Amino acid sequence: MKGRILGGFRAVLAAALLASCGGGVASILISVSISPTSASVPVGATQKFAATVLGARNSAVTWQVNGVAGGNSTLGTISSSGLYTAPAAIPSPATVTVTAVSRANSNKSASAVVTVVQFSNAALNGQYSFLLAGDDAVSFFTAVGSFQADGKGNLSNGFEDLNSSTGYLPNLALSGKYMVGPDGRGTLTLTNPLGTAEYSLIVVSSSRARFIEFNTSSNGEGLLLKCDPTAFSTEAISGNYAFGFGGSDPGGAPASLAGVFNADGTGTLTGTEDANLAGTVTAGGSLTGTYSVDSNGRGTAAFSDALGSANFVFYVVNKDTLFFVESDFPFPVVEGTAKRRQVATFSNSSLAGDYAFMISGITPAAYIATAGRLTADGSGHLTSGVLDQNDNITVSANTSFTGSSSVSSNGRGTATLSTGTTPLAFYMVSPSEAFVISEDPNAVASGTMLAQTGGPFDSNPPSGSFGFLLYTSTFDTDQAGQATLLGGRAGGDLTGTEDINDNRILTSDATLSGTYSVSSNGRAAASVTSPLGSANLAFYVVSGSRLLVVSDDALEVTSGNFEKQY
């Protein structure tokens, strides 16, 4: 009788335990683990998590982000299979918690910490072409090339062409490494048969980055763009292209060229160009030539004009963008970009609206850089102009001007400004973009003109994270980094981190700070402090995504670009 009573008591106790544990004694033994337990995920990128449930027949889990089932657009989302997708912008705070909750017992879970970052090595993945120009202890040099990035820090299947006063070296094998930090700043190491070169990198997006030489033997600035391999053929390079080139002429003196050519898709080209070779200006001369493209995206071209003949190697970015380097030796050493035009014919009405521009180059005194903005009425009148010009000794800041322009059917235009600034010629890529060249014998300079969008800018100032590259020609100094613009109405604070190559003296992870104020027309005055000292800069807003920069300090001619990271 006693045994029966004890047995009954044990049964009641077991039933109570089952009830209290929400699934039985076995549920006490349920455990959940998650892998990985931490991760850094760039905005918009994905990370796969796996959950393991032990001690239960039901191994399913419910995924949460900061306690929200499935997450949301602010924190990031997670699928039923554990695939986390980071939000489009970094949340505040930047860390979130991904949790796997057992469906057999909701009291059992495991969590991982995710840090949402702007960038990582995964930002560069695919084939990229690059263009580089700089100088070493001997001379000016140019390089153009291509490589494959694996998204994990490795570069392979690369090749490049180099040209300098010491020789032209074609189709060199290229390999290397790269690292991209959370803010887009990183390093690039390229190795060819001549040796290894180090660069400081700033990623703007997965398809675009800028870089500077970061070694004690040379200075240089480069652009890196993601390729479209479907354009790697002679047939794909077809249509009208505008171009802008700069460098050194056959005598080693400064050279600027701009023009347009039509590529027929079979290897023949014809066009028009303007050239300023050491102050000798040739305007609107005819251009003919031939070209071909290999299956790896490397092409060659031969141009003939009134000045003679020139040979180039070019690398295809896509059917709309080509990187060129002259392959003749010795000199000239010329490099630049050609862009395919979407408009067949042009007229004065093609130049209409608000534009920002920047040109830089060399004068008999030393160096010159000019940035500004203007309004074109589509009938040849330029109004509401303002510019900042630094010609090494004389700084003209926030100078108002008017002017006139004329655009021919082939997209070649000329502009005269009331300031007496260098007479200009330009070749339009589209109504939103043009390559610009100086036609002043005393200023060999070139640059770009871009349509302004997003104004008035005092009520909509630029803000957010920007990758930047600045070049100070006076002292042969390169700066590359990230700056955060904390924009309020009409301006705000600027903070950032940069790498500096000050004439082969290297500074890593330098702090940058300052303030800026923006006028309605898009001109911004900035005061910036870095290890190089204090500097006054003028920013001209192209849009919320791009700024053109020129220095307003005498004896320090600086120019460059800020590009919003995304």
- Which token pair is 536? 């006054």
> Is the per-residue pLDDT at 326 higher than 90?
yes
pLDDT at 289: 97
* 563: number of Cβ within 10 Å: 19
The hierarchical CATH code for the domain 464-564 is 2.40.128.120
What is the pLDDT averaged over residues 461-484? 94
Whether cis (ω within 30° of 0) applies to the bond prior to 441 is no
Inform me whether the pLDDT recorded for 354 exceeds 50: yes
Contact 374, 382 (CB under 8 A): yes
Give residue limits of the domains in the chain.
Answer: 21-117, 121-226, 229-340, 348-451, 464-564
254-264 and 238-248 as β-strands: parallel, antiparallel, unpaired? antiparallel
**Both structure tokens of 498:** 């940069």
Is residue 281 within 8 Å of 256, Cβ to Cβ?
Answer: no
**Mean pLDDT confidence for 126-132:** 97
Instruction: Report helix, strand or coil for 479.
Output: strand
CA-CA distance, 193 to 545, in Å (whole number)?
38
Digit-coded pLDDT (tens) for 186-212 = 999 999 999 999 999 999 999 999 999
342 pLDDT band, cuts 50/70/90, is: confident
pLDDT at 26: 55
3-state secondary structure labels for all residues of 167-214: EEEEEEEEEEEEEECCCCEEEEEEEECCEEEEEEEEEEECCEEEEEEC
Reported confidence tier of residue 11, pLDDT bands at 50, 70, 90: very low
Q: Would you state the CATH architecture of domain 21-117?
A: Sandwich (2.60)
Q: What is the pLDDT of residue 325?
A: 96
Cα–Cα–Cα angle for 465, 466, 467, rounded to 5 degrees: 130
- What pLDDT digit, counting tens, does each position of 20-41 carry? 344 454 567 899 999 999 998 8
Cβ-proximal residues to 334 (8 Å cutoff; 6+ apart), any chain: 142, 245, 246, 247, 248, 255, 257, 310, 324, 325, 326
348-451 under CATH 3.30.70, yes or no: no
pLDDT value of residue 250: 65
Phi, psi of 123 (to 5 degrees): -65, -30
- Quick check: helix, strand or coil at residue 530? strand
Tens digit of pLDDT for each residue in 65-121?
Answer: 999 999 999 999 999 999 999 998 889 999 999 999 999 999 999 999 999 998 999
CATH fold for the domain made of 229-340: Lipocalin (2.40.128)
What is the DSSP pairing of strand 109-117 with strand 38-42? Answer: parallel
Which pLDDT band holds residue 16 (cuts at 50, 70, 90)?
very low
Q: What percent of the chain has pLDDT over 70?
A: 94
Check if the beta carbon of residue 147 is closer than 8 Å to that of residue 132: no
Instruction: Specify the pLDDT at position 251.
Output: 67
> Class assignment of domain 121-226?
mainly beta
Domains 21-117 and 229-340 equal at CATH topology level: no
Whether residue 270 has pLDDT greater than 90: yes
Predicted structure pTM score: 0.88
Local structure of residue 348 (DSSP, 8 states): G
How far apart are alpha carbons 147 and 556 in whole angstroms? 35
